[in-house]
């Protein structure tokens, strides 16, 4: 997938609050699909699987099968790539501006 296509898939995946909550749930350790279903009782298993497919397509979740279980692992690299491309440069500029403002005020 091209970088732009990957970015689009990541932004689409992160657009849904429930998918962000799923990623938060996976932050500390991988969970089985059954564990995720238990954490989201308002959603049926089919809906959880649909959300996981979107996250997997965006490469935010890596699936590992162990026997009959499907383990979902968080892959933070696509989020880091978004940060490096979009957030990092803007944050650096903002810090530079704050540094200049501080220097100007101290003169």
Q: In terms of pLDDT, which residue wins out, 44 or 89?
A: 44
Mean pLDDT of all residues belonging to the chain? 91
Longest dimension (CA), the chain: 68
Structure confidence at residue 103 (pLDDT): 87
Q: State the average pLDDT over residues 29-36.
A: 97
Lowest-confidence pick of 20-34, 54-68, 72-86: 72-86
Q: Which two tokens stand for residue 101?
A: 């403002």
Structural domains in the chain?
3-75 (1.10.10.10)
67: left (phi over 0), alpha (psi -120 to 50) or beta: left
Structure confidence at residue 4 (pLDDT): 58
In the predicted structure, residue 82 carries a pLDDT above the cut 90: no
């Amino acid at each position: 997938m091209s970088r732009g296509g990957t970015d689009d898939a990541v932004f689409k995946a992160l657009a849904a609050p429930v998918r962000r909550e799923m990623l938060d749930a996976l932050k500390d350790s991988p969970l089985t699909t059954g564990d995720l279903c238990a954490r989201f009782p308002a959603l049926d298993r089919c809906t959880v699987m649909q959300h996981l497919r979107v996250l997997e397509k965006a490469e935010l979740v890596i699936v590992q099968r162990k026997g009959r279980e499907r383990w979902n692992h968080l892959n933070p690299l696509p989020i880091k790539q978004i940060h490096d491309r979009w957030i990092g440069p803007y944050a650096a500029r903002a810090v530079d501006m704050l540094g200049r403002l501080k220097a100007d005020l101290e003169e």
